[in-house]
Amino acid sequence: MIDRIEELRAAGAAEVAAATSSEALEQARVRHLGRRAELPNLLRGVAELPPEQRGAVGRAANVARKALETLIERRGGELAASELDAQLARDRVDVTLPGAPALPAGGLHLLTQTQREIEDVFIGMGFNVAEGPEVEHIHYNFDALNHDAAHPARLRSDTFYVADEVVLRTHTSPMQVRAMEQQPPPIFIIVPGRVYRRDSDATHTPQFHQIEGLAVDVDITLADLRGTLLQFARAIFGDERQVRLRPHFFPFTEPSVEVDVSCFNCTDGLLADGSRCPLCKGTSWIEILGAGMVDPNVFGYVREYGYDPERIQGFAFGMGVERIAFLKHGVSDLRLFYDNDLRFLRQF
Amino acid sequence: MKVPLSWLHEYTRPDMDALALAERLAMTGTEVERVLRHGVAALDGFVVGRVLAAEQHPNADRLRVCRVDVGGEAPVQIVCGAPNVAAGQTVAVAQPGAVMPDGTRLREAKLRGEPSEGMILSERELELSAEHDGIMVLADELMPGQPLAEALTIADDVLELEITPNRPDCLAIYGVAREVHAATGAPLAPPPWTHDPGSMGPLAGVEIAVETDRCARFTARVFEDVTIGPSPAWLKARLMAAGQRPISNVVDITNYVMLLTGHPLHAFDLDRVEGGRLVVRQARAGETIDTLDGTTRELDPDTTIICDAQGPTSIAGVMGGARSEVHPGTTRVLLESATWDGPSIQRTSTRLGLRSEASARFEKGLAPEQALEAQAVATRLLIDLAGARVAPGTSDVAGPAGRWWERPPQPIRLRDLRVDGLLGTPVDRERSAAILTALGFATADADDGLDVVVPHFRRADVTREADLIEEVARIDGVDNLPATLPARRDAVGRLTESQRLRRRASDTLAGAGLHEILGWSWSPPELADRLRLGADDPRRRMIRVENPMSADQGLLRTMLVGSLLDVARRNVTRGIADVAIFEAGAVYPVARGTDPREPPPREPRHLGVLLTGAARPATWREPQPPAADFFAAKGVLELLLETLRVGWRVEAATEPFLHPGRSAAVLVREGAGDDARETRVGWLGELHPAIAADWELDRVAAFELDLDAVIAAAPGAVRYEDYTSFPEVRQDLAVVVPDDIAAGEVVRVVREAGGPLLASAEVFDVYRGEQLGEGTVSLALRLAFRSPERTLTDEDVSARRAKIEAALAQLGGSLRA
């Protein structure tokens, strides 16, 4: 009997070792350990044996069965691993095919991206973002900004009128006065928005975007303007940039300056091949905005809101978003911004 | 303003080249547009020559073969085509190798068989005048071979300046010289009007009357024995270099004096001034004048004119009349130098389309003192260059406001502390005084700064302490200021909640694969008709631009869908078939009953989305994705409003431009509980196929929202709701309802019946089929029940479910197993 058990175990072990697939292994298991197989039935028949044999036979049969089960389990593990390997090999894909996008890539308009970038720089410097109307009374657009009655910007050849005293704002500066009417000093705001001028060519569109800045407190200086714009220029155009202030004239600032940023496209006005830099035209400076100290006459219009020109002072600046985007991204024709060709929009 | 350096050097000569001077001027407030080279680029090869012989060319009637002494060992042969060339003349010669002003390099040549070693020059060839009828004949004392530059200004650097409107004093050579003096420290010569050969006192034979307040001062002098003729070469050369074409001595002198002093003059032929009396007054309606340019112009009462006994004879400050123009036979000249009101000169020149050098100066406002400065310089030149004899006296008449400029000026205090306080860096009082003095201001020490008197030529521009600080700062160098940052004290920078959510809205759409566009703020006039807006549709009431650049920019938009359609069409016609775009921008509605002469009270920010073509990009796995339809747009809308955490729903509603069966109104819920109310914030739908076809588009799905209203409905800080303490019970429910009951209505009824324990109810399947019968639809809903306070029992849930089922039955629905 014991010998028979050993025969059965050996036969089973051989068959398990020979199984080359999970199905063959399963067949071997059924044949040797299944309900009709001899070894389990031997175990079930132990009770009918004479008592002195029961212990030895039962033990031997049990050991044999356990041994076979272990073999089957081990072999099963080996087979599963190799079968998975084979399956994975069959599942190979061409990884260079295009992905199936969860969503196509969309994007913000380049001018929006530029505007936000500028906004974030000034927010970081403690400015808030104020917004104002585009259809504007000439009081805010010209009068309160110290434009005299004959200022050429008032001409119908330059400015869009919707009524005798109502224009499409020609700059974001009207919000200087509106903001000061709404809030006593100190005031630190930037004003992004659409503005309009009667001009249309490769470097002018009749609608464009500006960002105004206004900082008013008891001790804001022209040197503070320089420092603030230096931070801005470095944040937008790179850490190595310098700014240069040139005296200029604007009706609503005194002193007034134009601000240049050192060219980020060349060295001393020359490109690597020795040719003249097209961006700064060889001057190594690029004009980016107009600025100045708020003219006392402008404060005169909001004196009753806490802006006594003898007690408070501040700076203001205004820049074109299109111009900044054009400089940073080399857009050759500003009209492209409003053409909205998807081949343009997708580039940014 | 073109400033020839040779002319400038007569008054100040800084020790720097043209480019360095341009840089210095730019950094002190005078922008230099360009540095031009007038005349020849290099002086080499331009010499004085003497014509020894001039003989007929054997093969050409109009050419002469000349032997010219140019200082070499032997004379050279030059072929010349000028009719006036003759032996004995001293002439200007360009030798082979010389580069002419137009850039051509001269070579030895053969003209009709005769060798020619150079060229005898006319004035025009050297850009000395427009004269080209013959060669230029020079003074005989010049030596052959002498460099031509010693005899003539044949090369000059010219600064082209951009003068800001507050500085008419710099529309003058002497004014620029004063600026250069202050900016560089180079000495400044006394002004050219220092010695006046004329005299003041009464002027016989001419009477002047000023009857309008637009003329502050009118001065006149009379010159007899005038000989009209060409101007001398140096004067013509200066005018040419400054960009003015020489005409004749008297006219050239008025132009020269204007360029030098900044004050325009006008010369009348006194024998053509009828009645010997000039009246300055406003024109009367219907009056006309023939101006110098040969045009008859209609005048209006806003125009100031000068009249004689026959009527208008000059438009003040803008252009003279043809009738009294100086002509070759003129012998008596009346020279006018007057001060006009700037704004009215500007209006007149704009209205008549006559922008002249004179009007450009007058319109900025000149000082009355300048009138006599110009008279003095012109008097000297008329005597010297036109043989004139100045009649004794000057007619000097003030306007109705009197001689206000003769009152002593009020000094302005310039406080040291204020200079430091405004600039952020101190400037020595001595330095300030030196700068202001160089600019022509008078200064006197005061206890806390300087008392400053403004010169007349800066009177309009400098009126306050801040203006003086600017003068000091710009010359001292605004670029030398330190870079500091404002003391920020308690100010904090951040976006407002609404600005933050607007950014979030655009980011969400960009993240969903849409591209942002920026359309024009205007609307073409036909848009309302193309969109079939009804006659009473408020979106038809648009703000009209009075002076648009083109007709299609004549109105301001009241909705974004127009520009979205235009952009979609443009892209599709360019071969980009799949378009998913959005715009976030203002619209400009005209509220009923508002005053059209005032700005609109509100410019709502709208958000518009347009989809056409494939709903998603074709891929190798899905070569033909479905077309974007109503539900594609609704999916975008859902994503947007869920991201903003806004409570919302749509209900079927029509718009004139939308597919009648596929259009809806979008409503958002504001507030909570009993205070909650719904606001209609926009529309959603597929464009009416006929309207889409009008834009050459196939199926178009779109929506447009009042973004301000949507954001107003967004909750503030959201409160946490417990979802971990007690489990959720999920159940599905299928109900068959009549087809005309909207799914949204079913969900609404279910939510209402479910009460607060029903955490969510969503449609997850829609089925129509024969088994259900005609006109019915089966909706499958997924319900979730949850309590924040306890674990729900089967009884809790079945009680709510029973109520839901009852409510659905009332709606006409029957439950499916």
- 3-state DSSP call for residue A208? strand
Contact between A166 and B547 using a beta-carbon 8 Å cutoff: no
Average pLDDT value for residue range B770-778: 84
* pLDDT tens digits for range B480-497: 899 999 987 777 899 999
pLDDT at residue B480, rounded to an integer:
87
pLDDT at residue B561, rounded to an integer:
97
pLDDT of residue A97 exceeding 80, the answer is no
B519 interaction partners in chain A (CB closer than 8 Å): 338, 340
Compare CB distances from A112 to B424, B506, B586 and report the shortest one's residue: B506
Judged by a CB distance cut-off of 8 A, whether residue B548 touches chain A is yes
* pLDDT tens digits for range B506-552: 999 999 999 999 999 999 999 999 999 999 999 999 999 999 999 99
pLDDT at residue B97, rounded to an integer:
87
A164 interaction partners in chain B (CB closer than 8 Å): 597
Q: What is the DSSP string of B746-805?
A: HHHHHHHHHGGGEEEEEEEEEE--GGG-TTEEEEEEEEEE--SSSPPPHHHHHHHHHHHH
Compare CB distances from B478 to A98, A245, A340 and report the shortest one's residue: A245
Residue of A nearest to B509 (CA): A106
- 3-state DSSP call for residue B556? strand
Residue of A nearest to B474 (CA): A247
pLDDT of residue B559 exceeding 80, the answer is yes
Judged by a CB distance cut-off of 8 A, whether residue A102 touches chain B is no
A234 or B816: which leads in pLDDT: A234
Q: Are A217 and A185 in contact (CB under 8 A)?
A: yes
Candidates A340, A341, A345, A348: best to mutate against B (most CBs of B within 10 A) is: A340
* pLDDT tens digits for range A243-278: 999 999 999 999 999 999 999 888 888 988 989 988
Judged by a CB distance cut-off of 8 A, whether residue A19 touches chain B is no
pLDDT of residue B715 exceeding 90, the answer is no
A66: distance to nearest CA of chain B, Å? 45
* pLDDT tens digits for range A194-209: 999 999 888 889 999 9
Q: Which domains, ranges and CATH numbers included, belong to chain B?
A: 2-40+157-184 (3.30.56.10), 46-153 (2.40.50.140), 207-401 (3.50.40.10), 412-476 (3.30.56.10), 497-712 (3.30.930.10), 729-815 (3.30.70.380)
Judged by a CB distance cut-off of 8 A, whether residue B491 touches chain A is yes
Compare CB distances from A160 to B495, B545, B622 and report the shortest one's residue: B545
Where does residue B475 fall: left (phi above 0), alpha (psi -120 to 50 degrees), or beta otherwise?
A: alpha
Q: Are B653 and B664 in contact (CB under 8 A)?
A: yes
* pLDDT tens digits for range B570-579: 999 999 999 9
pLDDT at residue A101, rounded to an integer:
67
- Going by pLDDT thresholds of 50, 70 and 90, the confidence category of residue B20 is very high
Contact between B579 and A342 using a beta-carbon 8 Å cutoff: yes
- Going by pLDDT thresholds of 50, 70 and 90, the confidence category of residue B771 is confident
Contact between B484 and A221 using a beta-carbon 8 Å cutoff: yes
Contact between B616 and A103 using a beta-carbon 8 Å cutoff: yes
pLDDT at residue A187, rounded to an integer:
95
Average pLDDT value for residue range B264-292: 93
A184: distance to nearest CA of chain B, Å? 12
Contact between B31 and A157 using a beta-carbon 8 Å cutoff: no
Residues 320-339 of A with CB under 8 A from B: 337-339
Residue of A nearest to B619 (CA): A100
B167 interaction partners in chain A (CB closer than 8 Å): 249
Judged by a CB distance cut-off of 8 A, whether residue A76 touches chain B is no
Average pLDDT value for residue range A113-121: 97
Question: Which residue type, as a one-letter code, is found at position B434?
Answer: A
Distances (CA, A) of B292 to A337, B226, B239, B618: 46, 20, 20, 71
CA B133 to chain CA centroid, nearest Å: 43
CA distance B797 to B156: 99
The two beta strands, B155-162 and B31-39, are antiparallel
- Going by pLDDT thresholds of 50, 70 and 90, the confidence category of residue A44 is confident
Residues 290-319 of A with CB under 8 A from B: 293, 295-296, 313
Which position has the token pair 């007058």? B362
Residue of B nearest to A131 (CA): B499
pLDDT of residue A285 exceeding 80, the answer is yes
Candidates B363, B364, B471, B478: best to mutate against A (most CBs of A within 10 A) is: B478
A36 or B398: which leads in pLDDT: B398
Beta-bridge partners for B555: B523, B544
Judged by a CB distance cut-off of 8 A, whether residue B427 touches chain A is no
Q: Are B209 and B277 in contact (CB under 8 A)?
A: yes
B424 interaction partners in chain A (CB closer than 8 Å): 221-224
Contact between B464 and A156 using a beta-carbon 8 Å cutoff: no
Domain ranges of chain A: 2-90, 110-345
Average pLDDT value for residue range B383-389: 94
Mean residue pLDDT of chain A comes to 90
Strand order in the sheet with B319-320: B207-210, B277-282, B304-308, B311-315, B319-320
CA distance B273 to B323: 8
Which position has the token pair 């020790």? B15
Backbone torsions φ then ψ of B769, nearest 5 degrees: -170, 170
Is it true that the peptide bond before B343 is cis, omega within 30 degrees of 0? no
- Going by pLDDT thresholds of 50, 70 and 90, the confidence category of residue B407 is very high
Q: For the ranges B6-10, B37-41, B94-98, which has the lowest average pLDDT?
A: B37-41
Residue of B nearest to A99 (CA): B619
Judged by a CB distance cut-off of 8 A, whether residue B492 touches chain A is yes
Contact between B166 and A150 using a beta-carbon 8 Å cutoff: no
Q: For A157-204, what is the HEC assignment?
A: CCCCEEECCEEECCCCCHHHHHHHHHCCCCEEEEEEEEEECCCCECCE
CATH code assigned to A110-345:
3.30.930.10
B277: distance to nearest CA of chain A, Å? 32
The two beta strands, A187-196 and A128-129, are parallel
The two beta strands, B579-586 and B515-516, are parallel
Judged by a CB distance cut-off of 8 A, whether residue B495 touches chain A is yes
Q: Give the CA diameter of chain A.
A: 131
Compare CB distances from B423 to A163, A200, A221 and report the shortest one's residue: A221
pLDDT of residue B32 exceeding 70, the answer is yes
Q: Can you tell me the ipTM of this complex?
A: 0.85
Contact between A222 and B588 using a beta-carbon 8 Å cutoff: no
Judged by a CB distance cut-off of 8 A, whether residue A146 touches chain B is no
Q: For B436-487, what is the HEC assignment?
A: HHHCCCEEEEECCEEEEECCHHHCCCCCCHHHHHHHHHHHHCHHHCCCCCCC
pLDDT of residue B146 exceeding 70, the answer is yes
pLDDT at residue B140, rounded to an integer:
86
pLDDT of residue B758 exceeding 80, the answer is yes
Residues 138-177 of B with CB under 8 A from A: 164-167
Compare CB distances from B597 to A166, A222, A342 and report the shortest one's residue: A166
Contact between B515 and A223 using a beta-carbon 8 Å cutoff: no
Beta-bridge partners for B705: B607, B682
Judged by a CB distance cut-off of 8 A, whether residue B617 touches chain A is yes
pLDDT at residue A102, rounded to an integer:
67
pLDDT at residue A94, rounded to an integer:
76
Choose the most confident range, by mean pLDDT, from A13-27, B65-79, B227-241, B255-269.
Answer: B255-269
pLDDT of residue B305 exceeding 90, the answer is yes
* pLDDT tens digits for range B447-479: 999 999 999 999 999 999 999 999 999 999 888
B341 interaction partners in chain A (CB closer than 8 Å): none
Average pLDDT value for residue range B660-686: 90
Judged by a CB distance cut-off of 8 A, whether residue B426 touches chain A is no
* pLDDT tens digits for range B184-222: 999 999 999 999 999 999 998 899 999 999 999 999 999
Contact between B484 and A112 using a beta-carbon 8 Å cutoff: no
Burial class (CB in 10 A: 0-12, 13-18, 19+), B692: buried
Residue of B nearest to A152 (CA): B346
Q: Which two tokens stand for residue B614?
A: 């494939």
Average pLDDT value for residue range B127-138: 83
Q: Which two tokens stand for residue B778?
A: 């089966």
pLDDT of residue B737 exceeding 80, the answer is yes
Compare CB distances from B478 to A206, A227, A247 and report the shortest one's residue: A247
Judged by a CB distance cut-off of 8 A, whether residue B586 touches chain A is yes
B513 interaction partners in chain A (CB closer than 8 Å): 103-106
Residues 462-481 of B with CB under 8 A from A: 464, 466-467, 469-470, 473-474, 478-479, 481
Contact between A106 and B488 using a beta-carbon 8 Å cutoff: no
Residues 228-257 of A with CB under 8 A from B: 228, 230-231, 243-249, 254-257
Choose the most confident range, by mean pLDDT, from B56-60, B290-294, B522-526, B812-816.
Answer: B522-526
Q: Are B130 and B104 in contact (CB under 8 A)?
A: no
B639 interaction partners in chain A (CB closer than 8 Å): none
